[in-house]
Structure 1
């Protein structure tokens, strides 16, 4: 069975492939807990996500909104949940490959899977776990004339680092917390400080924590950040190099703004993308899985969370955590050829060693 048109011979790769027992596609809460459950089974896993940070939908859409249905935690925000899950998998030392989307999944002759990403990273994994929620969250593009012609180094979407802002005229375009954080990061004293920082949004109101809004106001008053109320209507470039943006104010008047770097924060949207071309059984844009094992139609590939479908499926975080557990046990049996022992974190010396906690008997 071929799941893509990607090369199946490792010798054809442009760089050495990352070898791993398990590759988890999606670093949201489901993917993070999947890494934890695999770690308890002694299965080394790595994470890959299209976003530049872990947390997925919880981080991006529910960062400061309350969540009430996590067992044992009466209420927490999306960011708090992600931080707790990150802390939980810390002992497993799970490598992360962020800001890149999986493009191809191809079976290898030895039973492993070869996976390629948009960043040119290649993996060779014994098992694959798809925890992609409702699809890969990708940044919304700036759709104005001239934007598609820009050098990628001058038009960045939700960048993880602001190194390129140092000493340049920068426009941060957006009104959410990430945009505010970026504007502050470009304007404060330090090695990444821009020569001039602009923050543009369609209205003079921003969604961020009170502390950030207070810091932004201080920077506005000092002149370190200039806020512009308006929308970009055109990008002016010459041979791909950014010259300026044309923007329109609330009264419909157009203005030019000379620039050297454009940072765009227009939010994200989920897309199934190339997943639909991998040859896996789908039903209404969801992966069909066995609810007892969370196995897909391809051997060694499992799927959990909102991306899956089976009789009685509920699209809740709690259910995704259960699915991650079932998938980890199934994968352990698949890899080892026998059912793994059921051990408890309260009493198992092996699990205590994995988690880095002292076993009671050792005291």
Structure 2
């Protein structure tokens, strides 16, 4: 269970949200509408969770009011919706410890940040995400400079030769997005068949010879460079034939590994790597800690983004009396607008 402690130099807020996917971002908005100050922590270096990391260009069809919206655009709009409340984002941080202090909590991240918070909302999806790194010698030296597991700014690849490894939606989506930006794109996959959406694969195959070259069936075997700048990517066929691709960047999309990590040791009720919550309030068995989105479970739960949105509202409203010491006088947004606007 959580143990009493105290940190004198911690950053204070009303609610700390663990998880920067769509549900966590909407929780920032819901808390903000109630006047609750938020810090959001995510292990990935950018907002969006799986939406940004796995399928940024994929359309989503079941977001109310949007017949179709890409995952990346959904995250952009949710970030804009939360912006008026000035949340603090701690990206590239994993929450390592949580201990109770009075009626609140003290959280510590793997990078030494300390947050004093009145309550915690866990919106961690399947847990903290990290990339599945290809087993290439010396790859760590190039990460963040020439080897990438996420694309933050497509313009960073303007005019460059880019090798993309992987056969799923992320690899194909980013190849399509970078076509016309990068000078050349090599698509490396160990099979001729791709696992991405058939329509996307067809669009990519139509670009063969027009700045896109398919390197199949091959797999990564090495990197050439000085440890900072990349000059070439080495690939090997299933028969052992090797070749060198002249490339300045490698985008490796082999999926993300997820793990609840330290959350498993907080004394929260677990059911198959999910947190059991009260469906009315999304409260866990630990007072002041709520869980929403895919990480939360209860009878009849639907694993949909829109379900997580509703849970974000339920958790924020349930936490208000605890944090403010008074009952919530509910008003519709059409009546009160956005606070401060």
**TM-score relative to the length of structure 2:** 0.77
2:128 corresponds to which residue? Answer: 136
- Which stretch shows the higher mean deviation, 96-105 or 277-286? 96-105
Deviation at 1:297, TM superposition (A): 1.9
Distance 1:170 1:55, change over 3 A: closer
C-alpha distance after superposition, 1:212-267 (max 9, x if no partner)? 969x88983xxxx8875532124579999989654214653023568886543333
Between the aligned partners of 2:236 and 2:125, the Cα distance in structure 1 is 36
**C-alpha distance after superposition, 1:331-356 (max 9, x if no partner):** 111111222111111222xxx25162
Task: State whether structure 2 residue 39 is matched by structure 1 residue 43.
Answer: no
Please report how far the alpha carbon of residue 291 of structure 1 lies from its aligned counterpart in structure 2 after TM superposition: 2.0
The 10-residue stretch of structure 1 (85-94 or 154-163) with the greater mean CA deviation from structure 2: 154-163
Cα distance change on mapping 1:147 and 1:125 into 2, 3 Å? same
- What is the Cα deviation at residue 49 of structure 1? 1.8
1:55 aligns with 48
Pairwise CA distance, 1:298: 1.9
**Are positions 1:32 and 2:25 aligned together?**
yes
Root-mean-square deviation over aligned CA pairs: 4.0
1:96 corresponds to 2:89 = yes
CA distance in 1, matches of 2:162, 2:54: 26
CA distance in structure 2 between the aligned counterparts of 1:118 and 1:20, rounded to whole angstroms: 19
Give the secondary structure class of the aligned counterpart of 1:27: coil
Match of 1:252 among 220, 240, 246: 240
Gaps of 5+ in 2: none
Measure the CA separation in 2 of the matches of 1:161 and 1:66.
20
The equivalent residue for 1:176 is 172
Deviation, 1:162, is 8.5
**SS of equivalent to 1:231:** strand
Q: Distance in 2 between matches of 1:82 and 1:149?
A: 29
**Deviations 1:277-317 (CA, angstroms, capped at 9, x unpaired):** 22211112111112222111222211111111223322222
Residue in structure 2 matching 1:86, options 75, 79, 89: 79
Once the 2 structures are TM-superposed, how far is the Cα of residue 171 of structure 1 from its aligned partner?
Answer: 5.2
Give yes or no for contact 1:140–1:266 (8 Å, CA) kept in 2. yes
Paired with 2:311 and 2:36, the residues of 1 have a C-alpha distance of 17
Partner in structure 1 of residue 100 of structure 2 = 107
Query: Secondary structure, in 3 states, of the residue corresponding to 1:86?
Result: helix
Deviation at 1:169, TM superposition (A): 8.7
Count, aligned residues: 330
In structure 1, list runs of 5 or more residues that go unmatched.
Answer: 189-196, 357-363
